[in-house]
Chain A
Amino acid sequence: MNPFGKYIFTVLSVVIFSSTATADQDRENENSELMGTVANKAYIKECGACHFAYQPRFLPKRSWEKIMNTLDSHFGDSATLDDATRTEILTYLVKNSADSSSSRSSRKMLASLGKTDTPLRISDTPYFKRKHREVRPNVFKRKSIGSPANCPGCHLTAEQGDYDEHKVKIPKN
């Protein structure tokens, strides 16, 4: 190979390799964005103080709006926030809700709902129920799980937005 050919080869390999790397990275991002990593600090701090900070893509916009407009009685408890914080969190949730997501799970979640269904619990959606149909109700009640609200109780990578069935580990008690 003459020096010029060597040069062309190097340039070509760099181009080919870097484009492969980019494609891989994109796919990786897509995967880790399966249900998305929660990014809003106020959401993690305020909502995540009491329960798992669910990825906003699990519920439609209308659900988040209803939840954030009824914080005075949040499943029977007071989760009152100052107005600025409430607005910030609501904006984040709406922007990243199932309606705004292109992920398959979000689309399936929405498809499982009637157009005006406004579930307040992810575990109330037909999509969730279908996905967990093999889990007996008393499994959710095990001490280390508590309730279906505790995603990371079994989905060890839930915080990273990864709900891959193969990464599920159901605690024995």
Chain B
Amino acid sequence: MQVSSVFTAVLLFVATSPELGLAAGLNAEMTKYVQGLETQAKKQESGFKGFDPVRGKKLFFDARPNDKTGTISCATCHTPDLKKSGKTLVGKVIEPLAPSANKARLTNVKETEKWLLRNFKQVYGREGTAREKGDVIMFINAQ
């Protein structure tokens, strides 16, 4: 009885906090980082209702014009299958991005922020917004 009510409470909690459910598996520092992004996104976008991996997927695959390669998306270097190794434009191997294939991914805030900054600039020519960064993290985290 007690166990099942705890279970129901957990279920309810997860169901009512979609972004927390999606962030499952993230460690403490990353969870805090994502929560920070969420606070920012709420301030920046009035209609913000939580991060969405579907929007994150779109951001990951959207091809943009690029001087060197014609078009470029995140998948150009990371490959469309995030569980596989990718290659930089100059041929250096990139370890898989999916946490299921590479445990080190999405475990370090400094690293995550650095690559989001660099790679948003490389693909989109600008920094990602808090909402976009959260969306992409949710997409990657689900891989």
Contacts and interface: CB of A to CB of B under 8 A. Distances in A.
Interface residues of A, number: 18
B91 A147 contact: yes
* Interface residues on chain B, size class: 10 to 19
A50 B67 contact: no
B92 A50 contact: yes
B117 A150 contact: no
A51 B92 contact: yes
Contacts, number: 43
Contacts of A51: 88, 90-92
B107 interface: no
Given A76-B67, A76-B68, A146 B90 contact: yes
Q: Taking each of A50, A79, A153, which has the highest tally of chain B beta carbons within 10 Å of its own beta carbon? A: A50
B118 interface: yes
Contacts of A81: 114
Interface string A36-74: 000000000000111110000000000000000000000
Interface in A117-162: 145-147, 149-150, 153
Nearest to B66: A76
Given A77-B118, A79-B118, A80-B117, A149 B90 contact: yes
A150 B88 CA distance: 11
Interface of A: 48-52, 76-82, 145-147, 149-150, 153
Given A52-B90, A52-B92, A146-B90, 18 more contacts: A49-B94, A50-B88, A50-B90, A50-B92, A51-B88, A51-B92, A76-B67, A77-B89, A77-B118, A78-B121, A80-B114, A80-B118, A80-B121, A147-B91, A149-B91, A150-B90, A150-B92, A153-B91
